[in-house]
Every structure is written in structure tokens, then in C-alpha cells.
Amino acid sequence: MFSKVTLIAAVCLAAGVVAQQCPPDELIKLSSLATEPTLGPCQDKAAGWTMVPPSSPPTDEQRKAMCAEPACHTLIEKVLAKNPSDCLLLGVLNVKKLADDFKPFCDKNKPTSAPPTAGPTPGPTSGPTSGPTSGPTTAPTPGPTGTPAPTTRPAC
């Protein structure tokens, strides 16, 4: 029984560490991102997700939309440069996890560019390309003559 209680306490403690709130100075450290020029374009493409103010973590669909937006890549680089702490900002968003997972997620979900497929081959033609002849010709053709050509023999 003691081991179950210890295990439950350890799990609860670990969950508390993972989901700890950010200290107030973390918000101050990241506040300059609110004026970052790439923030607006990134959030516009993020299908309803916002970093400022922090909302819940983006869904996979929102992250895929962010991966397709160059402004989001620049924004995430600037977030990483701030060296965010591993904590929940305003209780809803782990900025460090979002930034650390962004590039691997984008690499894993990069659309593949398959070579274009060949279109269907053309079907058979509707008929012959030249019409049939109307029949035998009536024009005379040169033929063999009745007399063989003379040959000359050398005189001896």
C-alpha cells in the first residue's frame, strides 16, 4: 500500500513540475515579442491561434498552417533567442515547448512534392489518316517489249 501512495505522490509531483506556472519575470522577458513585426502575419495564418495574448497550445492543424508561413519561422527563432523557461505562461502556454517542438514538427509534416503524374495517353485515332484508293489505275505502264535488245559480239 505504501508503494502505491508513493507512486501517486511522485506522479502528482512530476505533473506539478511539468505544468508549473511561469514566474512574473518570464512575462517581462517575452513581452517584447508583442511588438515583433512577424507576430501579426504568423497569427493571421495560424487559423485562430494566438501567441499574444497567449492562448492554448496550437492544434496540429494550426501548427501545420504556421509551418507554411515564413513569418512564423522567424517569430519562433526570435522566441528561442529569448531562451524561454519551461513553464506555463499565464497558465495556458508553454512557450519553450512550442518553440522547441516547432521545427521538428514542421520537418515531420512537410508536404511532399511528388513528381507530376503523366496524363492519360491519347486514345486511338478515329480512323485512318488517308483514305483508301479508288481502285486500279487505267494509265498504261511500261512493260516488256516483244523483241530482245540486240547484243554485239566482238569480231575475232
Q: Hey, what amino acid is at 67?
A: C
* Cell reading at 36: 515583433
Q: What local confidence, expressed as pLDDT, does residue 101 receive?
A: 96
Nearest-Å Rg of the Cα atoms of the chain is 41
User: What is the Cα–Cα distance from 69 to 45, expressed in whole angstroms?
Assistant: 7
Q: What is the pLDDT along the chain (156 residues), one digit of tens a residue?
A: 444 433 333 333 344 445 699 999 998 999 999 999 999 999 999 888 888 888 889 999 999 999 999 999 999 999 999 999 999 998 899 999 999 999 999 999 887 665 555 656 566 666 665 666 666 666 666 666 566 666 667 665
In this structure, are residues 58 and 98 in contact, taking their beta carbons and an 8 Å threshold? yes
CA 131 to chain centre: 53
Structural domains for the chain = 37-111 (1.10.239.10)
Among residues 38, 34, 45, 40, the alpha carbon closest in space to that of 90 is found at 34
